[in-house]
Amino acid sequence: MANNGFKVLDSDMHILEPAELWQRYIDKRFKHLAPIGTTDHVRDLRLVGPDGRAWGRPADPPAGTLPPPGHIFHKNQKLFKTHNERGWSSQVQLDAMEEEGIDLAILYPSRGLNVLSIPELDREFAAALARAYNDWLYEFCQTDPSKLVGAGMISPFNIDDAIAETRRCVEQLGFRAIFLRANIVNGHNWHEPYYEPLWSALEDLSVPLGFHEANNSAARQVGEQFGYDFMLRHTYSHPVEQMLAVGSFCGGGVLDRHPKLRVAFLEGNCGWLPFLMWRLDEHWELYGDQWAPQLKNPPSFYFKRQCYASVECYEEPAKYAIDFLGNERLVFSTDFPHVDTKYPKAVERFLQLPLTEEDKRKILWDNCAAYYGVVGM
């Protein structure tokens, strides 16, 4: 398939997991603890625990305290009505890809983005939640493994568990990436020694790491000061949490110590990169001899060498990121079927951005293929 002459690799396409996924797939020892999805409306992404309380997110506000749903909610209820009626199956995913003009998609979760976002979750239970999701995702992808490729979930609550599940995802399930939420849930920042064995394992396996944030969390998150104001919380939660992760990896020395590690910062936009890279470099020049004496190069060097960020299809400030970084560090995402997706016109909208044909070709396919190691697919 070629969309207006371009091959398209969606770096971050979402599935919508069955509400009962964790009841069906988790180790039976933990079934009585597992969360379940709610289905109060089309595209309901929430989870609740066995006690009915919100899972991995703040408690719901009292009834009647929020403004009524706006136009985007009603639009998506109509847009995704048939997808919901068809059960969000793998065939639904393939049909959506066909309609959008996508050749290959790397699949990330929806409900699963919040399943591990609980501070200090029991390590064995957390590992079981991740394994259950990955087992389900493997089955989902078998409808057409040439088009549907998984990004595996790992638990940050124990590094040995994370490494073991990473190896299983890559060596047994055929996944092409591992993902983590960008916000901290266990008290360990990404550049701390705690994570070093995991970064080494990812290097050894030559599998990339994708950071993906969500709108809320039961753990501390930058958007929480806006309470239930979705507009403001959603504005900040994704990009600012990704900025903090970029700081750890590029300024905290992770990529200096692990020169073969590939990292992407997904669904957080890219227009902020010139400012952040400039500021990190400035602070390295001013204070690096004291606080980062091991960092041999300015932080932007490591991003340009090893990192990627996703471009939203309507993100006109992407041109400034290209001016600063070049066109080899950005990847394309539809964000299907999340709240601000432009499906089924995401690719069409992207092609309208004021970018060169070479820029578009690299972002739509070449960079994604290099990041995920799918050049030959």
- Alpha carbon distance 229, 223 (integer Å): 9
Residue 377 has pLDDT above 70, yes or no: no
Whether residue 359 contacts residue 339, with contact meaning beta carbons closer than 8 Å, is answered with no
Residue 332 has φ and ψ, to the nearest 5°, of -95, 145
| pLDDT tens per residue across span 58-101 | 999 998 999 999 999 999 999 999 999 999 999 999 999 999 99
Label residue 375 by pLDDT band (50, 70, 90). confident
Distance of CA 55 to the CA centre of its chain: 19
| pLDDT tens per residue across span 248-302 | 999 999 999 999 999 999 999 999 999 999 999 999 999 999 999 999 999 999 9
Beta-strand runs (E) in the chain: 9-14, 36-37, 47-48, 104-108, 148-153, 177-180, 209-212, 263-266, 307-311, 330-332
For residue 90, count other CB atoms closer than 10 A to its CB. 19
* Single-letter residue type at 88: W
pTM value > 0.85: yes
Whether residue 40 contacts residue 77, with contact meaning beta carbons closer than 8 Å, is answered with no
| pLDDT tens per residue across span 190-218 | 999 999 999 999 999 999 999 999 999 99
Whether residue 261 contacts residue 255, with contact meaning beta carbons closer than 8 Å, is answered with yes
Candidates 3.40.1350.10, 3.20.20.140, 3.90.226.10, 3.40.50.720; CATH matching 9-61+70-372: 3.20.20.140
- Alpha carbon distance 322, 353 (integer Å): 12
Domain boundaries of the chain, sorted by first residue: 9-61+70-372
- What letter would DSSP give residue 6? B
- Alpha carbon distance 267, 332 (integer Å): 10
Residue 153 has φ and ψ, to the nearest 5°, of -90, 135
